[in-house]
């Protein structure tokens, strides 16, 4: 009844089977719950604190999460950051942050925490529909890094704010060279975090290996694929003991440096350059 496109209505309803609402004010949660049900929502769960929301995430595996930005026992951005760094199945679930504050710093902070969309209070059903369309119908690539984990921030486009938040990089192409360069930058950052944050470092590196392999297939760059495969093998070995050694990483770095000019990916990040003890 709220859509002109029945196909989109079905797509959205399919992602509203399990919805979590993190809202410390019961009346506000009830209003949002009614709106979500009117759009096809099935199982709705409400939490009043971020600890409770994390428990719900682990037990119900929500498809969509609405979170208030602040309240008693609640910091919405901390909740999102913790969710993204967790090992739960729903760690990549779209999060729509609700708040009455729509300043540029607040929106920037939400984007950098890993939020998908921004919903200003008070909102209408039309506002909710727009946010759900944005997170369900418009695909955004996932960034698995060290300092940032979440949807591609260059595609953050909340209807709540139009203006200087748009960066020049927001309009960059998602071409193979750009994607591979970003993967290499994240790999460099992950290598630097091996000792301080081994779990996320290994997870970030595994994600970048997959990205480099995809680029290699798309561009027909066999040497890049081979180098990525070497690192993948090292990561599989590391999974058995929880870390990857500098020696293992050097094997990959040496191979990668040899094919960088052919791949046309620009300069190799310093952290990715093999050390003096690299094994050829």
Residue 92, helix vs strand vs coil: coil
The yes/no answer on whether domain 176-272 falls in CATH 2.20.25 is no
Q: What are the domain boundaries of the chain?
A: 6-152, 176-272
Between 140 and 166, where is the model more confident?
Answer: 140
**Which pLDDT band holds residue 165 (cuts at 50, 70, 90)?**
very low
Does residue 280 have a pLDDT over 70?
no
| Tokens representing residue 131 in the block | 């946010």
Task: Tell whether the model's pLDDT for residue 274 goes beyond 70.
Answer: no
Q: How far, in Å, CA of 222 to CA of 245, rounded?
A: 25
Considering only 69-73, 168-172, 221-225, 265-269, which range has the smallest mean pLDDT? 168-172
Q: 3-state SS of the chain: helix, strand, coil percent to 5? A: 55, 10, 35
User: Using CA atoms, how far apart are residues 260 and 278, in angstroms rounded to an integer?
Assistant: 17
Quote the pTM value.
0.80
What's residue 261's pLDDT?
A: 46
User: 6-152 — its CATH code?
Assistant: 3.40.50.2300
Please say whether the dihedral angle defined by the alpha carbons of residues 88, 91, 92 and 93, taken in this order, is positive or negative.
Answer: positive
* Adjacent-strand bridge partners of 215: none
- Give the rounded percent of residues in the chain with a pLDDT score beyond 90: 46
């Amino acid at each position: 009844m709220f859509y002109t496109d029945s196909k989109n209505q079905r797509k959205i309803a399919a992602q509203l089977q399990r919805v979590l609402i993190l809202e410390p004010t019961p009346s506000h949660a009830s209003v949002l719950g009614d709106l979500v049900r009117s759009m096809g929502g099935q199982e709705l769960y409400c939490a009043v604190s971020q600890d409770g929301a994390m428990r719900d995430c682990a037990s119900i595996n929500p498809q969509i999460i609405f979170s208030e930005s602040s309240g008693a026992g609640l910091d919405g951005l901390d909740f999102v950051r913790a969710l993204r760094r967790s090992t739960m199945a729903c760690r990549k679930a779209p999060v729509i942050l609700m708040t009455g504050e729509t300043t540029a710093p607040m929106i920037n902070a939400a984007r950098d925490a890993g939020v998908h969309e921004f919903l200003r209070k008070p909102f209408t059903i039309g506002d909710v529909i727009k946010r759900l369309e944005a997170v369900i119908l418009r695909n955004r690539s996932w960034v698995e890094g060290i300092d940032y984990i979440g949807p591609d921030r260059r595609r953050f486009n909340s209807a709540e704010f139009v203006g200087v938040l748009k960066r020049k990089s927001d309009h960059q192409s998602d071409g193979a060279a750009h994607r591979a360069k970003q993967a290499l930058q994240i790999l460099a950052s992950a290598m630097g975090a091996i000792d301080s944050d081994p779990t996320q470092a290994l997870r970030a590196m595994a994600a970048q290996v997959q990205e480099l392999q995809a680029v290699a297939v798309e561009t027909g760059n066999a040497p890049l694929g081979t180098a990525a495969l070497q690192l993948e093998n090292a990561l599989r070995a590391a999974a058995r003991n929880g870390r990857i050694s500098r020696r293992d990483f050097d094997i990959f770095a040496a191979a990668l440096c040899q094919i960088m000019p052919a791949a046309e990916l620009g300069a190799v990040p310093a952290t990715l350059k093999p050390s003096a003890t690299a094994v050829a």
